[in-house]
Amino acid sequence: MSPLYENSTLRIEVEASEIPWLKIFTQTPYKEMSQLPAPLKLEIYELLDTIETLMLTYYTPTKINIASFGNYLPHLHWHIMARFENDSFYPEPMWGTKQREATLTLPPFEGFSEALLVQLTQER
DSSP string, 71-102: SSS-S-EEEEEEE-TTSSSTTS-TTS------
CATH of 5-118, one of 3.40.50.2300, 3.30.428.10, 3.40.50.360, 3.20.20.70: 3.30.428.10
Please state, in angstroms and rounded to a whole number, the distance separating the CA atoms of residues 113 and 4: 8
Sign of the four-CA dihedral 39, 43, 46, 48: negative
Render pLDDT for 1-46 as a digit per residue (tens, 0 to 9): 689 999 999 999 999 999 999 999 999 999 999 999 999 999 999 9
Render pLDDT for 48-103 as a digit per residue (tens, 0 to 9): 999 999 999 999 999 999 999 777 777 899 999 999 999 999 999 999 999 999 99
